[in-house]
Amino acid sequence: MQNNSGNSVFLYNPTCEYAVANGNGTWQPNKILQKMENDLATIPLFFSLPNDQIIVPELPSKSFLEQLKRIGIQTPDFILKQTLQQQNYSSKINELRPWGWSPAAHKLLDPLKQYCSEDFKNSPVFNWKPEYKNYYSKKFALGILQQITTRFPSDFFIDQSQIPEICTEQCEIEELLNKWGNLMIKAPWSSSGRGLQPITKTPVHPKVWERILGIVKEQGYTIVEPYLKKVTDLALQFHAKAGKVEFVGISNFSTDYKGQYNGNNLNGLPDSLDRTVAEFVLSIPSFVLEPLLILLTESELAKNYDGYFGVDMLIFKDKKGRLKVNPCLEINVRHNMGLLSLQLEKLIVPDKKGLFRTFFKPGTTFYDLKAEMEKTHPLLLKDNKIESGFFALTEAKSDTQFGAYILV
């Protein structure tokens, strides 16, 4: 997934959208999100090559690295976050690859910039510019959605009357409540289904209004969508470099009823998915991919961003029960779990289907889950690939609250 003359340095910072919204280089995520970043800090190793490096809060154990070798993974080197200032590179760094860029990521990685290749120093992501903030907002994705549905109309697209709207006042949201019934309200800068507020009951509870108006106060506005009858989720993955946008692959993910990310299906759609739905999902790239590539290549994002990004889509049933798609629900301008799942597919036996899941359950640990799952779903390997069973992708220690795993 990358060219490697010299090495690349990776950083797992999935809270980058919040850091972008805040705009301050010294921004820090809250305690629980810091814990998530620390517990999952080694995740970029699935994108890396042996001569790359990953910034971590503590070094992974030998036993964890041995476990990865069992499925044929050659692990990169690890740099302790607290030693970044003292790093001395004799060879060039090919590029810096945080999960996502933000003023905070730039500040953290600044000591390494002097060692970077000329190619990377000339790329638009080498320095942060205030206008980049807009590409990370859901408003940018809404602009692409408005263009795709007007310039490339399709009967399968979300109806014009259901296109999300930008609201800054309670009265505007109340008008949409009358128009659409149930609503999904989103913070412009958020990720993995956080910053979402469904409205499915009226009158709306004062606490709910407080939360929504809190988003407006903090981020300037909210994105308001009709609450649609979701069937499944899909994401198209892209890579942008020097003004060109390339298609990388398709990932099928799932979210819970609140819209929070659950995980990805590996090696195709789940067998449990209704056949008509599966056929519709498989047909989507035929009428969405070309228009998206045209619009994304024309956009400011292509000119001012180098790296991976994903476009999330929502497949739903309209009031008449017809299958439709919102072809640009969100644009995640960063590495993302869908992109990771394309890498993870290489670890399992090609004709086997699997699940990639992230774990967090207050009151229990990833260590407990791993112990239980290894008993009930023992790992079976075939030619260094997973044929069946449970495999932990991140380390499980007694105090690990967050984790990631594959189940085949």
- As a whole number of Å, the end-to-end CA separation of the chain is 24
Q: Are strands 261-266 and 354-360 parallel, antiparallel or unpaired?
A: antiparallel
Residue 291 · residue 332 · CB < 8 Å: no
DSSP 92: P
> What pLDDT score was predicted for residue 3?
44
Q: What is the CA radius of gyration of the chain?
A: 21
> What pLDDT score was predicted for residue 192?
67
How many angstroms separate the CA atoms of 145 and 160, rounded?
10
Residue 211 · residue 197 · CB < 8 Å: yes
Where are the domains positioned within the chain? 7-128, 135-158+228-341, 161-226, 348-407
Q: How many CB atoms lie within 10 A of CB 289?
A: 16
Residue 337 · residue 261 · CB < 8 Å: yes
How many angstroms separate the CA atoms of 308 and 8, rounded?
15
Superfamily designation of domain 161-226: ATP-grasp fold, A domain (3.30.1490.20)
Taking phi first (over 0 means left), then psi (-120 to 50 degrees means alpha), and beta for anything else, what does residue 326 get? Answer: beta
Beta bridge partners of 95: 8
How many angstroms separate the CA atoms of 156 and 163, rounded?
14
Q: CATH number for the 135-158+228-341 domain, one of 2.60.40, 3.30.470, 1.10.10, 1.25.40?
A: 3.30.470
Alpha-helical regions (H) of 56-201: 62-70, 103-113, 118-121, 138-151, 170-180
How many angstroms separate the CA atoms of 150 and 404, rounded?
40
> What pLDDT score was predicted for residue 367?
97
Token representation of residue 61? 């154990």
Q: What is the 3-state secondary structure (H, E, C) of 26-68?
A: CCCCCHHHHHHHHHCCCHHHHCCCCCCEEEECCCCCHHHHHHH
- Nearest alpha-carbon partner for 180 in 149, 195, 196, 202: 202
- Nearest alpha-carbon partner for 208 in 180, 177, 163, 178: 177
SS3 283: helix
> What pLDDT score was predicted for residue 148?
98
Residue 193 · residue 258 · CB < 8 Å: yes
Identify the residue whose tokens are 């994108």.
47
Q: How many CB atoms lie within 10 A of CB 249?
A: 15
How many angstroms separate the CA atoms of 88 and 115, rounded?
8
What residues contact residue 286 under an 8 Å CB cut-off, 6+ apart?
Answer: none
Token representation of residue 277? 């739905």
How many angstroms separate the CA atoms of 206 and 76, rounded?
51
Residue 188 · residue 137 · CB < 8 Å: yes
What residues contact residue 408 under an 8 Å CB cut-off, 6+ apart?
Answer: 266, 348, 349, 352, 353, 354, 355, 386, 387, 388, 389, 391
Q: Are strands 385-388 and 380-382 parallel, antiparallel or unpaired?
A: antiparallel
Long-range contacts of residues 126-131, Cβ cutoff 8 Å, at least 24 apart:
128/101, 128/102, 128/103, 129/304, 130/23, 131/300, 131/304
pLDDT string in tens for the chain (408-residue length): 444 446 999 999 999 999 999 999 999 999 999 999 999 999 999 999 999 999 999 999 999 999 999 999 999 999 999 999 888 887 789 999 999 999 999 999 999 999 999 999 999 999 999 999 999 999 999 999 999 999 999 999 999 999 999 999 999 999 999 999 999 999 999 876 678 999 999 899 999 999 999 999 999 999 999 999 999 999 999 999 999 999 999 999 887 767 778 889 999 998 889 999 999 999 999 999 999 999 999 999 999 999 999 999 999 999 999 999 999 999 999 999 999 999 999 999 999 999 999 999 999 999 999 999 999 999 999 999 999 999 999 999 999 999 999 999
